[in-house]
Amino acid sequence: MTTGPGSEGLPASGRFREECGIVGIWDHPEAARLAYLGLYALQHRGQEAAGIVSARPDRGGLVAQVGVGHVADVFDRERLDALPGRAAVGHTRYSTAGESGRRNIQPIRIECKFGHIAVCHNGNLVNAHILRHELVDRGSIFRTTSDTEVLVHLFAKSGQTDELEAVAEAVRQAQGAFSLLFLTEDALYAVRDPRGFRPLLLGRVGDGYVVCSETCALDLVDGTYVREIAPGELLRIDRDGVRSIQVFEEAPVSQCIFEHVYFSRPDSRVFGRHVYRTRIRLGRALAQHTGIDADVVVPVPDSGLIAALGYHQESGIPLELGLIRNHYVGRTFIEPRQSIRNFGVRVKLNPVPSILRGRRVILIDDSIVRGTTSRKLVQLARNAGAAEVHFRVSSPPTTGPCYYGIDTPLRSELIASSQSVEDIRAYIGADSLAYLPLEALMDSVGEEQDRYCAACFSGNYPLAVPEAETARTLFAKDRR
């Protein structure tokens, strides 16, 4: 979902972009607790806020518990106990903090002529601002600045009398990337946009069902994998079981390659592929295409870890953990008054001098976005005594922003959009720099490569992006 500043006016066309994790549970005595565990597993997809809505069995209606922070900060026993019922949906969100951020926390919950409904969204609607204009003209009053709320209004205003038809009508008007969950008092709906940009899968848990972004969520609730929800498929899960409906015209599939490069957890299967195995292949291909004589391969943890392992396996160069990550760094930390060199990166990543000193080091990360992290890391390695530092990236140069649900800066802030590899090498201060070629990246997903979107690397955007949408900014977080 995407949000913009202030609820008064229209959003500045998706000014704030979010990556999100979603989970839905249907027909389980501990639905909210399982949703909570699912969100725990999907924490990497959004760390700013979390929320769960459950369907109340006794008095009807939906109950919500949402808050700012990590899943563990938002929920305690008491809040989970306040979420009764056998059905729940949950959302982790990656966005702005503060009051306007709080308003946008999902699931969005409303009451309308169909009764109560809660919606969770992973992705980004490219026509949200157009739809919102139209809705505001017709008298809609928006509570949030999120593109997801547009869907809620479309649903509530639907001329259909049947709930399923109204959900179908609402999502049919949306364009862009959307993996969505709708919870009503009678059903759980799950839908993936016709191009299938973001993942969504179906599993079983006990006698009930689970729908989630990645299989790592399924593992934690002890669920079993059933299948991917197909691009363009709408599922209605209710007391009669699962019904599958195709609501969109068929479109070429455009699954996000960056889910494999960086975003998904390596222990997950997304788009039917093991992320871990794909990353190993990326690392191996990187060694084949950009190999260099060196003493040690050092991953940038955690983002470069598995590609570095693949690189090591292919090249035979020893792998050492020459950068150690502090896993306990919170959202903010108080800096000392007197400046400490490279404090910002060092608080998260610290070099191991005995590994780096006097050695020719290959540093491996999954991507270079602005180049600021890589620059600091090269400096850290040099300060720790590395004789040479060669930077290798397990994806091609990131030349374009994502309009389909991954948080990226403006094109002008992407270092590779305007600078050559040699310029970037000079900027980050490495002895050499090389990226994985695009063809090698696409090979890593095998015969299915036609089903992937790699627009951030190729500039080939599968879905037209309205001009206003391209004016977005934001890439506020350093989220390794």
Q: What span, in angstroms and rounded, lies between the C-alpha atoms of 182 and 168? A: 11
**20 catalytically annotated:** yes
Q: Is 121 helix (H, G, I), strand (E, B) or coil?
A: strand
71 exposure class (CB count in 10 Å sphere: 0-12, 13-18, 19+) = buried
Report how far apart the first and last C-alpha atoms of the chain are (Å, whole number): 21
Distances, alpha carbon 375 to alpha carbons 306, 415, 431, in Å? 21, 12, 12
Cβ proximity to ligand AMP: between 277 and 370 the closer is 370
Does residue 87 contact residue 32 with C-beta atoms inside 8 Å? no
Nearest-approach distance from CB 436 to ligand AMP, in angstroms:
14
Q: Write out the residues near ligand AMP by the rule CB under 6 A.
A: 262, 300, 303, 365-374, 406-408, 477, 479-480
Provide, rounded to whole angstroms, the least separation between the CB of residue 394 and ligand AMP: 10
Nearer to ligand AMP, 218 or 416 (CB): 416
Q: Which letter does DSSP use for residue 311 in this model?
A: H
Separation CA 79–CA 84 (nearest Å): 10
Residue 428: CB minimum distance to ligand AMP, A: 9
Tell me the C-alpha distance between 85 and 452, whole Å: 38
> 464: burial class by Cβ within 10 Å (0-12, 13-18, 19+)?
exposed
Looking at the Cβ atoms of 91 and 279, the one nearer to ligand AMP is 279
Q: Which is nearer to ligand AMP, 1 or 63 (CB)?
A: 1
Tell me the C-alpha distance between 197 and 315, whole Å: 33
Question: What's the min distance (Å) between Cβ of 238 and ligand AMP?
Answer: 36
Our CB check for ligand AMP shows the closer of 290 and 367 to be 367
Cis peptide before 302 (omega within 30 of 0): yes
Q: Which is nearer to ligand AMP, 24 or 397 (CB)?
A: 397
- CB of 477: closest distance to ligand AMP in angstroms? 6
Amino acid letter, residue 36 = Y
* Comparison of 194 and 405: residue with beta carbon closer to ligand AMP: 405
Smallest gap from Cβ 78 to ligand AMP, in A, equals 33
Find the shortest distance in angstroms from Cβ 80 to ligand AMP: 29
Give the residue with the Cβ less far from ligand AMP, 54 or 367.
367
Q: In one letter, which amino acid is 147?
A: D
Query: In the block, which residue shows the tokens 């222990």?
Result: 267
Number of H helices, E strands in the chain: 18, 25
Pairing relationship of beta strands 349-351 and 115-125 according to DSSP bridges: unpaired
Least distance from C-beta 472 to ligand AMP, angstroms?
13
Cα distance between residue 38 and residue 56, in whole Å: 20
Distance CA 81, CA 87 (A): 14
Establish how many alpha carbons lie within 13 A of residue 260's alpha carbon, considering only the half-sphere containing its beta carbon: 30
Tokens encoding 78: 């008491």
d(CA 280, CA 444): 9
Which residues are known to be catalytic? Answer: 20
